Structures are given as structure tokens and as C-alpha cells.
Structure 1
């Protein structure tokens, strides 16, 4: 997904939850659906956690795009993670993030 398409998607009103913003665009003719993920370093300090979140998002969105969701999607983290756990992503919070993103898709 190129930067012009991402900018276009970010102008669309997002579906939001406590932690996530999902920007969905109508499908384009003859083009496979695409995915953009934004997890800022300010919001997830450790690279391990950022990468884990990105992998989780890719897995959930790709499975949705394969079955029912045939649209371009940009997923953006809105709130910092790990406030109670000294900046680390723990299982309880990871499960919460997973359920929120699955509910938005």
C-alpha cells in the first residue's frame, strides 16, 4: 500500500475501540485488498511488543479479508500499552487488544 492510499484512508472516519482505530475503504476494482499497520514507538516502547502487535493484527485482518472483508484496511494504535506493567505487553492486555480488534473487524 503506497503512502497516497494510506493518506486517503486516514481521511475516512474510523471505527474505534479503546485502543484501536480501523480505517476501512471501499474496494477497488481488480485489486486485492491491502493492509496498513501503524504501531507508534511512543505508544508501545519495546520493539518486541510492537512486532507482536503487528503480527497479531496481520493474522486477524488477513483471515477476515480471506473470508468476508474485501476492503483496504489501515489499523492504528491509539493508546499506550503496558501502563500497569511497566511498559511491557502481558497476556491479559494482549488478549484484551485481540478481542477489541476482532470486534472491530
Structure 2
């Protein structure tokens, strides 16, 4: 049984004030008198629909696999062979997303 968040918590979670959240949810009237529809209605059709990933980009599953294999001590080349990726692609992924403090991926 999942309750979710109340309105104030939801606004805080996305980093906006309660007032801005209400404008997004309910729409608003501009100073000119023009009414604007709620932003939620505008974006509802695209919410919860993941965009298809271009094949050249690593999927979330591939990134998890890379992290798991690095923890096991596998080389970049060995890791790249598993999903059939170029070692350069895997190497760039690891370098770009390495933790600057610990050096871990």
C-alpha cells in the first residue's frame, strides 16, 4: 500500500516552492489576465514513457554490468567483450563517471 507524497513534499522533492508547485498543478493567471493551462496536463502524455535509447548509448543494464565486472577486477577489454562493445566505449564510460574522491566507478 503506497501512499506517495503530500503536495508540499512533492514540491520540495523537485526543488520548487509550494506556490510554484500549485501553479504547475492548477495553472495560473498572468498579470495580463491571460490564463495558462496547468503544466502537468501538458506533460502528462510524456510522463512515465521512457524514450527509446539509441544503440550507441550504453543502457542502464550495461552500466550495472560494467560496475559489477570492475568490482570483480576484470579488465576493460574483458568487460567490453561481454555486451559486444568497443573497449574504448567502456573505457570512456568508466573515466567519465569515475568518483574523483575514491577513483571508483
**TM-score > 0.5, shorter chain as reference:** no
TM-score by length of 2: 0.23
Q: More helix per residue: 1 or 2? A: 2
What TM-score, normalized by structure 1, do the two folds share?
Answer: 0.23
User: Which of structures 1 and 2 has the larger relative contact order (alpha carbons within 8 angstroms, sep 6+)?
Assistant: 1
